[in-house]
Amino acid sequence: MTDDSATTIDPAERLFRAVSPLQRLHHLLHRYPAISPAVVLVLAGLVLGAVNTRFFLPANLSLVIQQVAVVGGLAVGQTLIILTAGIDLSVGAIMIFSAIVMAASATTYGLPGPMALVVGLVVGTLAGGINGLLVTRLRLPPFIVTLGTLNIFTALTLLYSGGQSIQQGIPDILLWTGTDVTVGPFKLTTGVLLMVVMYAVATWVLRNTAWGRHLYAVGDDPEAARLAGIAVTRILLSAYLVAGFIFALTAWILIGRVGAASPNAAADANLDSITAVVIGGTSLFGGRGIVIGSLLGALIVGVFRNGLALAGVDVLYQTLVVGILVIVAVSIDQWIRRVRA
């Protein structure tokens, strides 16, 4: 019993002298959760490109990326919340509420553009904070909390705007995210670049700060996190606040993309953001996943919709394919989670 510690505590070696190729793949996917969505994205591109060569035209790819910007932005915040083993059904409602507040602050109340932007960002952050307070103080399930606030923010938006879009008099700074930017052969917008920056910052923070590590710990095993000295409720609340801020930033992208603040825009954004996160390999059970996967997930949905449309497939079949993708992604997640040395 004295000498076997040297031979048994050696999982890394066990991994290398492993076992079947399937088990090796299993470990690889477990370690790098972005691999499976990346493979799906490449395969989808190759197949859809083979069906219709127009798919690979820079103009078409640029269109896909621009279409993905809003859901992609929301998915950053959604990923943070799902990593804590929560879920946010109100992301789109918070975004549209923030967008209306931003635009109305300038057009109705005459605030200068930058001030209107700041007011919108603060309102979005506070809206996320309300979700966070309900989850942490009242200890309600995030699903129920955000189902409620989804309706509340949607109703507030409609009451406040009277159901009307705000198109006239939106200050330039709010429309700035719609500015064209040419990157190589691609025609993107500053809104797309803002989304990319959001992913870069979120990736860095999750990997390189204690807050990021604690977010994973709280989502994976809140009791172990608490016993390790992590202030679990503070981490949870901060995740919802940061997510709210991200949804408001995405509202800015939305205004630039639509050229207006509309209470009826992006109606599917709530569920689309969850779809992107799940296809991107982040586990709904919390603690596992990677934020860049959600961008891949959003792109996969965008590529499928675009490619199938180019191939002349009915829009209903596009939705069908997205549904199948979600189920496949969650099945793969379940399989990956069962990893054991």
Q: Which residues bind other proteins (CB under 8 A)?
A: 1-2, 4-6, 8-13, 15, 27, 30-31, 208-211, 213-214, 216-217, 220-221, 223-230, 287-288, 339-341
By beta-carbon proximity to other proteins, the closer residue of 5 and 168 is: 5
CB of 85 to other proteins, least distance (A): 11
Instruction: Considering the complex, state which of residue 102 and residue 225 has its C-beta at the smaller distance from other proteins.
Output: 225
Minimum CB separation from other proteins for residue 208, in Å? 5
CB of 83 or CB of 101, closer to other proteins: 83
CB of 281 to other proteins, least distance (A): 13
Which residue lies nearer to other proteins by CB, 8 or 168? 8
- Give the tokens for residue 280: 């991107």
Phi, psi dihedral angles at 166 (to 5 degrees): -105, 110
Residue closer to other proteins by CB (options 210, 315) is 210
Residue of 254, 260, 242 lying closest to 201 (CA atoms): 242
Written as one string, the DSSP assignment of 23-81 is HHHHHHHHH-TTHHHHHHHHHHHHHHHHH-GGGGSHHHHHHHHHHHHHHHHHHHHHHHH
Closest contact distance (angstroms) between CB of 81 and other proteins is 16
d(CA 274, CA 336): 19
Query: CB of residue 240 vs other proteins: minimum separation in angstroms?
Result: 20
Indicate the burial class of 3 (C-beta count within 10 angstroms; 0-12, 13-18, 19 or more). Answer: exposed
DSSP 190-238: HHHHHHHHHHHHHHHHHHHSHHHHHHHHHHH-HHHHHHTT--HHHHHHH
3-state secondary structure of 250: helix
Nearer to other proteins, 150 or 336 (CB): 336
**What does the alpha-carbon distance between residue 131 and residue 318 come to, in Å, rounded to a whole number?**
32
Shortest distance (Å) from residue 224 CB to other proteins: 5
Smallest separation, CB 74 to other proteins (Å): 24
- Which helix (H) or strand (E) covers residue 256, if one does? helix 232-258
Smaller CB distance to other proteins: residue 227 or 316? Answer: 227
